[in-house]
Structure 1
Amino acid sequence: MTAPKTPTTDSLQALMQRVIRQDVQSMHAYAIQDSRGLVKLDAMENPFTLPQPLQAALGERLGKVAINRYPTTCVGDVVAALSKHVELPEGCALMLGNGSDELISLLALACDRPGAKILAPLPGFVMYEMSARLQGLQFVGVPMTADFELDEAAMLAAIEEHRPAITYIAYPNNPTANLFDDAVVQRIVDAVGALGNGFVVFDEAYQPFSSRSWMQRMAQYPHVLVMRTLSKFGLAGVRLGYMAGAAALVHEIDKVRPPYNISALNAEATLFALEHADEFARQAAVLREERAALLAQLRELPGARAYPSEANMILVRVPDAKKAFEGMKSRGVLVKNVSALHPLLANCLRLTVGTPAENRLMIDALKASL
């Protein structure tokens, strides 16, 4: 009997070129920085852990989860708890995703009709474009103004020309951290609605730190969806996102959701967190105060320009982002150099708002690195 041949490196490369989609081969995977040994302020995570008594209570509770069974009723419990937590408007429904990243992918899948397009302002969250391309949809990026506001004329013209199936509005935006002008946003929602050809999706990942939301307003607009994640709430490791909108629309999109996409452990951790929402609200309040203090310090820093923020991050422009990033990293502080993501972000760093102690280290490191 002849032993099976083991593919050589060359033959495997040739096989991949024949089988894997060419556009996938030309893409870059989502990059995650190595943060070992550093003050991690690069990913907009909540820097606070649970108080020790809550850690013990959560551990005991998770130990009782029936992990030998598929998650069924627990997912419905999470939907009900979240619906109450966000005061879901009447006539609306809510679905869950494995983080908002999965919801973005599911939206692209659900709207994948011949010629369908996805539109978003740029610079913005990279997953809007990545999900579109992976699903074989065309992505239309509309550059913002130099001050990171929506270019209303360009957005309305692009919507009229391309008639996108999905128009994303990150609210606040990532990586710029700002909330867009409400009147401009309203006119974009109205324009998409008048065409009757697509949906507007508000990505409210940073809602705990924002002064405005579309969660209640969406009930007036059946073509509007609101998407959030518990990552910024304080559960980045739990990977749970949710999307709300008109019940008929959400139920239709929910058909493409994989069965059991939310684990029983994640569901139980979410239920526990919502029962202790006051602790996470306290943490968010501290971070909002720290954000204000950081903005004040950055505005006094020669050579740095900090932009307005309604998130747990601050975009700051410096004379040399690469030099500043490397200087901060050498001093033990990891932030995000976003200057290569879009021309409008030239020499920009994105700073996550951390604990008071972490923020002092970050400011000191930035001062020393300019």
Structure 2
Amino acid sequence: MTPDLPSLMARVVRQDIQGLHAYAVQPSAGFVKLDTMENPYPLPEALQQALGERLGRVAINRYPAERTEDLKAALAQFAGLPEGCALTLGNGSDEIITMLSLACAVPGAVFMSPLPSFVMYGLSAALQGVRFVGVPLAADFELDERAMLAAIAEHRPSLLYLSYPNNPTGNLWDDAVVDRLIAAMGEAGGLVVMDEAYQPFAARDSMARLAAHPHVLVMRTMSKFGLAGVRIGYLMGRSALIAEIDKLRPPFNVSVLNAEAALFALEHADEYARQAAEIRAQRQRLYEALLAMHGVHPWPSEANMILARVPDAAAAFAGIKSRGVLVKNVSALHPSLANCLRLTVGTPDETTRLIDALRASL
């Protein structure tokens, strides 16, 4: 007898999975796309041609092997990996978060993060059956040090994620507070994951913390660097710890084409640095324009997006979209984000269109 599909799903698919919503991606064809914090700049034509020719010579009939090791070595050099540390690769940061969740899902484990922050921290914990504790940020989205320290002492988390700069708020937290949280996690016997997805646009990073503390990991991605379509994330930490996490990496999780494209990008890091500098300049221009708009409150950002509170986020989002620009309405992600839009920084022309569309929509 062939079972009916609803009954079959009810029996074999976990109930908590059935209650989840899939990650939603807004259709973007025909829009100025400023909703997912991508680098808006393509490679110059000469580099596009050189990359295409290079990818055409890749042996796609073979499984990835040594080339991913070459990529790891190149990333280690690019990031300035400290002595005694290693790195592992993921299909974007999302896969690395999954690997961390799998590795640290011991019975009774707790994962922790400030909130609002990157949604995948809590989702990945839930998928592994691990309790997740979110600690609300203080005013202006700063870390609530007292609440964080109390939560660490009470729950003794195995993992503390610190998005640095934070998504979706864009800010770098107070370094002294971050260092005290790292010390508290050391006393609690847990790991601190410094998520530096937006490092190309930030004034500070955590490489010194990585060198100084064996319980600190640094996670980065090449997506904001300019390779969102290539899907390369990497995690750095003490060699013995990375070796354990690397056991959970799916075989051949980074394709030969992705690895080759990433190596090509690292060989032309000066072009991506130039692009990042232009994005930082447009970020400042957008911030100043937002400050001048009546009823709009933007927060200073160290990322490639700006969080701004508007009088009516739903109406502003619809008005901006009707004018051909796509942004992200984050109002529903957390109570502290009520009436907030997350605005990705684009090219000069895209920034002009965003400013005009938002001003007309207020």
Aligned mates of 2:209, 2:176 — CA distance in 1: 14
Aligned mates of 1:189, 1:297 — CA distance in 2: 37
Instruction: Provide the residue aligned with 2:161 in structure 1.
Output: 168
Equivalences for 1:217-296 in 2 at 5 Å? 217-296=209-288
Partner of residue 123 from structure 2, selected from 126, 130, 150? 130
Which residue identity lines up with residue 173 of structure 1 in the other structure?
Answer: N
Partner of residue 340 from structure 1, selected from 322, 332, 341? 332
1:144 aligns with 2:161: no
Q: How far is 1:271 from its partner?
A: 0.5
Instruction: Provide the residue aligned with 1:302 in structure 2.
Output: 294
Q: How far is 1:146 from its partner?
A: 2.7
Instruction: Provide the residue aligned with 1:76 in structure 2.
Output: 69
SS at match of 1:216: helix
Instruction: Provide the residue aligned with 1:321 in structure 2.
Output: 313
Q: How far is 1:336 from its partner?
A: 0.1
Deviation digits for residues 193-240 of structure 1, max 9, x if unmatched?
0122x1000000000000110023211100000000000000000000
TM-score, normalised with respect to structure 1: 0.97
Deviation digits for residues 38-95 of structure 1, max 9, x if unmatched?
1000000000000000000000000010111110000100000000111111111111
Instruction: Provide the residue aligned with 1:361 in structure 2.
Output: 353
Contact residue 96 and residue 262 of structure 1 kept, 8 A: yes
Contact residue 157 and residue 188 of structure 2 kept, 8 A: no
Q: How far is 1:356 from its partner?
A: 0.2
Deviation digits for residues 282-337 of structure 1, max 9, x if unmatched?
00000001101111111111110000100000000000000000000000000000
Aligned mates of 1:195, 1:368 — CA distance in 2: 51
Aligned mates of 1:138, 1:216 — CA distance in 2: 30
SS at match of 1:256: coil
Instruction: Provide the residue aligned with 1:311 in structure 2.
Output: 303
Aligned mates of 1:34, 1:118 — CA distance in 2: 33
1:204 aligns with 2:185: no
Deviation digits for residues 94-127 of structure 1, max 9, x if unmatched?
1100000000000000011101111000001000
Which residue identity lines up with residue 89 of structure 1 in the other structure?
Answer: P
Aligned mates of 1:142, 1:74 — CA distance in 2: 41
Aligned mates of 1:195, 1:99 — CA distance in 2: 29
Which residue identity lines up with residue 42 of structure 2 in the other structure?
Answer: T
Aligned mates of 2:225, 2:83 — CA distance in 1: 24
Which residue identity lines up with residue 180 of structure 1 in the other structure?
Answer: W
Aligned mates of 1:35, 1:94 — CA distance in 2: 34
Aligned mates of 1:31, 1:139 — CA distance in 2: 22
User: Unaligned regions of 5+ residues in structure 1, if any?
Assistant: none
Contact residue 300 and residue 306 of structure 2 kept, 8 A: yes
Instruction: Provide the residue aligned with 2:173 in structure 1.
Output: 180
Deviation digits for residues 150-174 of structure 1, max 9, x if unmatched?
1111111111111111000000000
Contact residue 88 and residue 216 of structure 1 kept, 8 A: no
Aligned mates of 2:153, 2:251 — CA distance in 1: 37
User: Unaligned regions of 5+ residues in structure 2, if any?
Assistant: none
Which residue identity lines up with residue 303 of structure 2 in the other structure?
Answer: A
Worse-superposed segment, 139-148 or 102-111: 139-148
Aligned mates of 1:272, 1:331 — CA distance in 2: 37
Instruction: Provide the residue aligned with 1:63 in structure 2.
Output: 56
Q: Percent identity?
A: 67
Q: How far is 1:142 from its partner?
A: 0.5
Aligned mates of 1:169, 1:49 — CA distance in 2: 30
Moved over 2 A (4+): none
Aligned mates of 2:207, 2:15 — CA distance in 1: 39
Instruction: Provide the residue aligned with 2:112 in structure 1.
Output: 119
Report the count of equivalent residues: 362
Q: How far is 1:340 from its partner?
A: 0.4
1:213 aligns with 2:215: no
SS at match of 2:9: helix
1:108 aligns with 2:101: yes
Deviation digits for residues 8-57 of structure 1, max 9, x if unmatched?
xxx21121111111111111111111111110000000000000000000
Aligned mates of 1:244, 1:216 — CA distance in 2: 12
Q: Aligned-pair RMSD on alpha carbons?
A: 0.8
Aligned mates of 1:107, 1:285 — CA distance in 2: 32
Contact residue 99 and residue 231 of structure 1 kept, 8 A: yes
